[in-house]
Every structure is written in C-alpha cells, then in structure tokens.
C-alpha cells in the first residue's frame, strides 16, 4: 500500500503583527480577497499528485488555534483527513514539526500558513531529490532564510537571516521531503547540538544537518510569493489576488452603487448609495451605505455608514459610522468593535 502524502501546515504563532485581528481568531482565519488565508493556502494543493492520497497535519496554537481551526476545517473541508497538533511553547519551526513527528513518515510537504505562492506541485510525482525548497530572488534577503546552491545545482547550506545581501535566493516557506523520518532525525540532532537563533529552532538549520549527512536538496524557483503576515502585506496581497481574479460579475443586494473593478463582494452583502473599489473585498452580510471603500478588506457582518475608507482591514461584526464629509481615512479594527468618527 502506498504511504499517504502528508501536507504539514504550522500555524501556532501568536500573530502579533496582525493584531488586533488575532486577539479573536488565529491569523490563518483573517480574510483576504474574498476568502480566509487558510482557504487560499489549501487551494495551492489542488495540483498535488494523487490528491486522494493526502493527509493534512495542522500545527495550531493553544486556545484560539486549537478551538477554531478544527471547527473551520470540519465545516469547510469535511472530506479531508486532518490531524491537529498543539504547540504550547513557541520554540521555533523545527520544534513545531518535532511535535507532529508521529504523523511525519513517508513523503511530506510543509508550508507556512502565511505563505501563498504560485506553483504546480504535480512534478513531485517524479521527484528524485531528497528534498526541495521553493525559493525566490529578492532585493534584500536579510530578514529571511536563504539557500546557498553549489555548482552541481544542489543546496550546500541554508542561512537564516543572513547579514549580507549577496545571496538573495530567499526560501519561500515551502518544502518537500521525500521521507519525513529523515527530517525528524535531523531535527533531533539539531536539538542535541542546541542550534538556535534567538532561542528558537529554525528549520534551515535542520536542513543543513540533512545536507551534512549526504542528502540531496535542490531549489525550485518561483516568481510569485505573497505574504499575509502583517496588516500592510495582507492589504497588498488582497490587491494582487483581486487583480488575478479579474473583473468578475458581482452580485449583491442594494442600489445606486458604483463598482470600480476588481473587487470581491459576497452575494449576501447589502450596499446602497456607495462606491466600491478598486481592490475592495466585502464579506458576507455586510451592510454599507453612503460610503466609499477602496483597497480594503471588510470581513463578515460589518456595517459601514457615511464613511470613506482606504487601506483598511476591518474585522467581523464591526460598525463604523462616519460624518459623511467625504474625508478618506485608514482603519485597522478588530472583530466586534464600534467606531464613531
């Protein structure tokens, strides 16, 4: 019997850069371009070989993550086989994977929850390398991990947060491993050597140990890598995803609405006497009146009245009431809040 292919998604971080939204929900459940980040992430795996032979391993944080992620998956993706592991101590990427070690045998794909890339995974059906790291050149790689590639095309080492910018081949947070047990063995050696950066165990160091043991790791270059790890990055990603979505027909309730595409408007939204777009994402059951919304994400159940918003991220069940004077403002408001301008 062929061993199932594991897709591992660590998402246990506190999401501090996405507050106040992550005070009430885990970061992967924040919306962007009409869907949650997690839904966009799971869409990436539609090109996986043998899709009927997949298992998902979600490494979640305590409280919000362990309560909301399983419920979300059960509701939205009842057909998938999913396992959940709780990381209560934030000791880094390698530590998160080690906690999930009982599931990590056979081939596996790992991708961080705030990483959205454009790639076709179908080639993995014939991959011969021990591991593949997805990479993309960037102007300044110093806040990322980078791959150093030798003349034979294989990675010689990984460097986490390099001090210089000569090597700009940044790891995009997506990896394939031919055998999960080999990764876990390298992580356990990383623990024994106590190889850390700022008291965290980074995956790049475990993969360098794999190379030391003679394993062949190659890179797979991509040209599109979107980030949902900060407010500004999420709004930028919203814009890019809506551009790719194009000028789709929008259906919603209401009248006297000017639409400047591209936008994403849920069919249950009610909009009157307003201008929507460009690059606006309007969630389910939103009520908007006498307002202008551009380059913004409004999550489900928002009520916006007499306001002009741009570059705003508005959580669920938020009420914003402006003065109707046309002054354009930028807001970052978490779930269940009320703003009077």
Question: Tens digits of per-residue pLDDT, 89-103?
Answer: 889 999 999 999 999
Count the Cβ atoms, other than its own, within 10 Å of residue 257. Answer: 16
Nearest alpha carbon to residue 87 among 7, 202, 188, 10: 10
276: which strand partners? 259, 293
The 10s digit of each residue's pLDDT in 101-144 is 999 999 999 999 888 988 999 999 999 999 999 999 888 777 77
Residue 182 token pair: 């080999």
DSSP 33: T
pLDDT band, residue 88 (cuts 50/70/90):
very high
162-166's contacts with Cβ under 8 Å and 24+ in sequence apart are 165/139, 165/140, 165/141
Model pLDDT, residue 166: 76
As a whole number of angstroms, the distance between CA 313 and CA 280 comes to 10
Q: How far is CA 25 from CA 32, 83, 243, 339, in A?
A: 14, 20, 27, 20
The residues, any chain, with a CB within 8 Å of residue 163's CB and separated by 6 or more, are 142
State the pairing for strand pair 313-314/332-333: parallel
The 10s digit of each residue's pLDDT in 12-60 is 888 888 999 999 999 999 999 999 999 999 999 999 988 888 999 999 9
Q: What are phi and psi of 64, to 5 degrees?
A: -60, -50
Q: At what angle do helices 203-212 and 180-193 cross, to 10 degrees?
A: 100
pLDDT greater than 90 at residue 67: yes
On average, the pLDDT of the chain sits at 91
CB burial class (10 A; 0-12, 13-18, 19+) of residue 194?
Answer: exposed
């Amino acid at each position: 019997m062929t061993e199932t292919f594991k897709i591992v998604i660590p998402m246990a971080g506190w999401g501090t850069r996405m507050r106040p939204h992550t005070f009430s929900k885990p970061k992967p459940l924040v919306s962007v371009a009409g869907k949650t980040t997690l839904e966009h992430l799971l869409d990436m795996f539609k090109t996986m070989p043998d899709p009927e032979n997949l298992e998902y391993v979600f490494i979640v944080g305590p409280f919000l993550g362990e309560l909301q992620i399983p419920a979300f998956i059960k509701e939205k993706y009842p057909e998938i086989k999913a396992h959940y592991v709780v990381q209560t101590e934030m000791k880094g990427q390698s530590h998160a994977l080690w906690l999930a070690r009982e599931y990590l045998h056979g081939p596996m794909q790992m991708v961080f929850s705030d990483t959205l890339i454009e790639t076709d995974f179908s080639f993995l059906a014939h991959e011969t390398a021990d591991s593949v790291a997805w990479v993309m050149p960037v102007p300044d790689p110093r806040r990322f991990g980078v791959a150093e590639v030798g003349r034979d095309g294989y990675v010689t080492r990984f460097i986490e947060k390099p001090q210089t910018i000569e090597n700009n081949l940044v790891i995009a947070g997506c990896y394939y491993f031919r055998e999960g047990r080999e990764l876990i063995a390298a992580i356990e050696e990383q623990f024994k050597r106590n190889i850390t950066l700022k008291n965290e165990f980074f995956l790049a160091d475990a993969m360098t140990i794999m190379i030391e043991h003679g394993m062949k790791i190659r890179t797979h270059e991509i040209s599109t890598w979107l980030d949902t790890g900060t407010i500004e990055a999420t709004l930028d990603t919203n814009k890019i995803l809506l551009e790719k979505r194009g000028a789709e027909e929008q259906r919603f309730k209401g009248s006297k609405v000017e639409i400047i595409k591209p936008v994403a408007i849920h069919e249950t939204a009610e909009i009157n006497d307003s201008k929507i777009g460009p690059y606006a994402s309007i969630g389910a059951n939103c009520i908007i009146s006498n307002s202008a919304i551009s380059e913004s994400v409004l999550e489900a159940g928002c009520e916006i009245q007499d306001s002009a918003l741009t570059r705003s991220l508005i959580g669920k069940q938020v009420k914003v009431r402006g003065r109707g004077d046309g002054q354009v403002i930028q807001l970052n408001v978490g779930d269940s809040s009320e703003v009077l301008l």
